[in-house]
Amino acid sequence: MKKCAVQTMCMAIAFAFLTGAVNGQAAEPTGDDAPVININTAGEKELSFLPGIGPSKAKAILAHREKRPFKKAEDLMRVKGIGRKSFAKIRKYITVTGPTTAKTKITP
């Protein structure tokens, strides 16, 4: 009896997954799928893709990075104009290693 219940549950999950895929519904991006910006390698344009970061803050990030590369994401709060609240909004979209994967403005 337990084996039948497990099989039924697996089939229901598979059906739900396939139905979403057939209807063209994309899954919500997870932390691993979310677009990211490498704050150590991104240019002004890419940095401006971050929520709340415009051209002037992007330039400030670049200027800070020239003096001292970012060792961890939290180091971004050393840049004038980026405090705890701003950082909290963009934290999941920044990295200090790996490639920049964001191609357009990120909307939270």
Task: Tell me what pLDDT residue 34 has.
Answer: 84
Task: Tell me what pLDDT residue 24 has.
Answer: 36
**Predicted model pTM:** 0.69
Q: Find the mean pLDDT for residues 35-50.
A: 97
Q: What is the pLDDT of residues 5-34, one digit of tens each?
A: 556 554 555 454 444 433 333 333 445 578
Q: Assign 3-class secondary structure to 34-65.
A: CCCEECCCCCHHHHCCCCCCCHHHHHHHHHHH
* 46 and 103 Cβ atoms separated by less than 8 Å: no
Q: Find the mean pLDDT for residues 55-72.
A: 97
Task: Tell me what pLDDT residue 108 has.
Answer: 85
